[in-house]
Amino acid sequence: MDLQKLLPPFFTLRFLQLCLSSFLFFASFNMIIPELPAYLSSLGGEDYKGLIISLFTLTAGLSRPFSGKLADRIGRVPVMIFGAGVCLVVSLLYPLISGVAGFLCLRFLHGFSTGFTPTGISAYVADIVPFNRRGEAMGLQSLFSSLGMAAGPALGGYIASLHGITPLFYCSSGVALISILLLVRLKETVPETVPFRMGHFKLKKDEIFEKRVFSPCFVLFFSYLSFGIILTIIPDFSTFLKIENKGIFFAVFTLSSLAIRLLAGRASDRYGRIPVLKAATFCLALAMTATAFSHSKEMLIFSGVLFGFALGMTSPTIAAWTIDLSLSAFRGRGLATMYIALEAGIGIGALGSGWIYANQHERFPLVFLMGAAGALVAFIYLFITKTASKTPPTPFQK
């Protein structure tokens, strides 16, 4: 059997390198997340758990306009390498910090990683894949990212249980290094790059947000409020349900998303982005409602499966929709705007859930139902918006 015939035509060695690097990048910073709430508590900062994710996403969101502009000017590859380099350095610094303030500063700095690398990755994929396979390609690339998000927490929880959290930080740094080694061998896709200069950090008003991609960003923001809630509350909720490995929910929802990403991407290429997103946001509302009323490990795992299906449909479809609406010369800006919405959703969801939860277990249902409400807002908006893309862009858009 010819393996090449089973793979889509865009699945080249270059695409595989990018996907493997993406897998390692997402594994690097996700492998420490389940252990951070307990680690922060050990430093005396149990009242600041909501800042673990919100500070990270704040920096990522603030850096998106810069990463989008730089990806369009100096190239996709340098932007990806910089983000992975932040993961490498910051993970090495965590064990050297002994106070709450220092830890929170590192979380703030760590956010630059996801502010840069995912923007470059998505733009790179869009550059090398034809229009009619974008949904499928984004689904396949995000599958590798999701594998990293699944393997990271599960492996991180295992390493921490055997060796403690300090070796876990060093492992996170090592994984980021391997990701960088894969990136340095990639060929740049921007036809005419310019050398980096400090002037690139000066942003004009129209360089901060790409107005053409408002609709996918609106849906993404309200969908990813739930993700911020999950990242912040699930570790404590798992402890409340007496689940020893706090990474199990993350592993389950990420693995379940793998089963649907390619199908969702292909479906969005064939039937359009909005129909797929309607199914995704409705599934997300069900998942968060089920999580709110989970009273056992089995019920939480079932909720994780639904959550994975929802995000597995949302992520590649939103990315493809954003690329559809972006002009090629400003593709980095369009994707950066998309990621700003993503980080804002995660950050506000994390901060709000941490504030409302306030270490009071009886508030778990309320926090998760907030996520369900956000998903319903996105679901309703999809019936109102007229912004869709089912046909190839004009030559100017290409």
For residue 105, being part of any structural domain is answered with yes
For residue 267, being part of any structural domain is answered with yes
Range of the domain at 18: 14-188+209-381
For residue 314, being part of any structural domain is answered with yes
For residue 1, being part of any structural domain is answered with no
Question: CB 41: neighbour CB atoms within 10 A?
Answer: 16
pTM for this model (two decimals): 0.74
Domain count of the chain? 1
In whole angstroms, what is the distance from residue 282 CA to residue 270 CA? Answer: 20
For residue 199, being part of any structural domain is answered with no
For residue 6, being part of any structural domain is answered with no
DSSP state of 44: T
In whole angstroms, what is the distance from residue 258 CA to residue 138 CA? Answer: 12
For residue 398, being part of any structural domain is answered with no
Question: CB 361: neighbour CB atoms within 10 A?
Answer: 10
Q: Judge residue 127's burial from the number of C-beta atoms within 10 Å of its C-beta, 0-12 exposed, 13-18 middle, 19 or more buried.
A: middle
Q: Rg of the Cα trace of the chain?
A: 20
Give per-residue pLDDT as tens, 147-167: 887 788 888 888 888 888 899
**CATH code for the domain of 241:** 1.20.1250.20
Give per-residue pLDDT as tens, 47-96: 787 788 778 878 888 888 888 888 888 888 999 999 999 999 999 999 99
Q: What CA dihedral angle connects 49, 33, 121 and 382, to 10 degrees?
A: -60
For residue 161, being part of any structural domain is answered with yes
**Residues 52 and 36: beta-carbon distance below 8 Å:** yes
- Using alpha carbons, list the distances in angstroms from residue 116 to 39, 62, 87, 123, 356: 26, 11, 11, 11, 30
Give per-residue pLDDT as tens, 117-139: 988 998 898 888 877 777 788 87
